[in-house]
């Protein structure tokens, strides 16, 4: 997973990307997003399938400003599931 910053700006594009490979070859996968506050899932969004790489742009709402949140990408491929946690604090 790659994201542009841990301090995304409210109402501005926040690009994220994912790459999943095995032995250097792209792997068919899926990604779902979860948003956590104090370790608890407070929202779930999106469900995408992709083959090897995926790029998305998210816009954080004003209601997220100032809270210590975790953006979680749940990546699934076959029988394997990974939670990729990325701490963020949305700023104005």
- Model confidence pLDDT, tens digit, residues 56-67: 999 999 999 999
Cβ contact 46:30 at 8 Å: no
- What CA–CA distances, in Å, run from 81 to 1, 37, 64? 14, 21, 27
Q: Please state, as a whole number, how many other Cβ atoms lie within 10 Å of the Cβ of residue 41.
A: 11
**Burial 12-33, CB ≥16 within 10 A → b, else e:** eebebebebeeeeeebebebeb
Classified by CATH at the fold level, domain 2-89 comes out as Immunoglobulin-like (2.60.40)
- Res. 35 pLDDT band, cuts 50 70 90: very high
- In this predicted structure, what is the pLDDT of residue 92? 94
- pLDDT tens across 40-52, in order? 999 999 999 999 9
pTM here is 0.93
Share of the chain above pLDDT 90, in %: 99
């Amino acid at each position: 997973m790659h994201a542009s910053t841990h301090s995304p700006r409210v109402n501005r594009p926040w690009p994220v990307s994912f790459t999943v490979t095995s032995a250097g070859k792209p792997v068919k996968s899926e990604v779902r997003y979860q948003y956590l506050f104090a370790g608890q899932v407070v929202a779930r969004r999106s469900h995408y399938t992709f083959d090897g790489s995926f790029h998305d742009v998210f816009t954080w709402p004003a209601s997220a400003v100032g809270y210590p949140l975790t953006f979680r990408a749940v990546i699934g491929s076959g029988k394997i599931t990974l939670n990729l946690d990325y701490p963020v604090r949305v700023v104005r």
